[in-house]
Structure 1
Amino acid sequence: MNSSSERSMAVSASRYRESSSFIQSKLSSVIGSMSKIVERVDNYAQDVREHVRIGSKITETVKGKLSLGAKILQIGGVKKIFTQNFKAKEEEKLLKVCQCYLFTTAGPLAGLLFLSTERLAFCSERTIKVCSPNGECIRIHYKVGIPLERILGARESENVKQPSRKYIVIVTDDNFEFWFMGFLNHWRTIRHIQRAVYHV
């Protein structure tokens, strides 16, 4: 074999190794990306299952979600619901809205959690019955409004018996805790809340 054909074979072998390592690198990158996507989809599916499971009956949960969707459309969007229910100022900007449950002593209460530049607020999907001492009863939406400057922190917690059931615990400056659960995207929601509280 002459030296030019040996050089040609050496160059070909070198190109093959470079090409092969390039392909392996790309393949590893694609597999890594796919693994992350699968993990996100799995987490989201788990959050959806948990969100639906918290409700008393699946039919009631679905009816509630459809009713909420119709109400949002009828009123003109979640921003209008927030403005009407919490008397938002003109300069207050709505940052995020998500469906969740507020954990109460009577059990979880489905509703919308609003995060704005001024506050964290919750409004129940359905009205609750409240009776006065003289016996008169009215139906009202259960509402919570917490100014961001009163929030000391937002932390995660999980149910020891059901680790898939995750909570976001809001602690205020008067040591009161609000427990929210059943988020469709638990991780993203807590990051938004923590970021908003940090920037106050």
Structure 2
Amino acid sequence: MMELQGAFARRDDWQVKGWCRIERALDVIGTKSAMVIVRELLYGGTKFDELARRTQLSDAVASSRLKQLLADGIVERRPYQEPGQRTRYEYVLTDRGRALFPVLTALMDWGEDLEGDPRGGLEVTHRGCGAPVSAVVRCAEGHEVSVDEAAARIRDEAWAVAARERGRKASPPAVDN
């Protein structure tokens, strides 16, 4: 388990809603349908029909998720036109969407240990040397870090404590009837 440090060690003093980065990320990309669309975009899919077919999502669900991903800056639409056809749009990952690559790689690594025949699963490799790619957690100094070696703390504790106190003073005290 992670070690909790500073004011965060008293977790019950803190409300997660609104400032947890995991929760904010899941608000943007936290559905299976969104993740499988991002997967297909990473694999090079761009056209709506292809994305819906490859993900096995209904057109309505695929359209809804693509609109959400567009609004959240994960994908962008680009016009294209086949000869003799009307202008249509393809979907491509933005830099923000491409930044999900390590997340999907970590999910693939984790999924390797789930039931099923691992020989049938995909393996992501480095094009330069052919070696398998995996997600690794490292600190800014380059050390690999396991969950038992990790610690969680509030980034700007003085600001967060002051903001929490302002919030407490702004709301009226509870009244017992």
> Scaled by the length of structure 2, what TM-score is found?
0.23
Structure having the higher Rg:
1
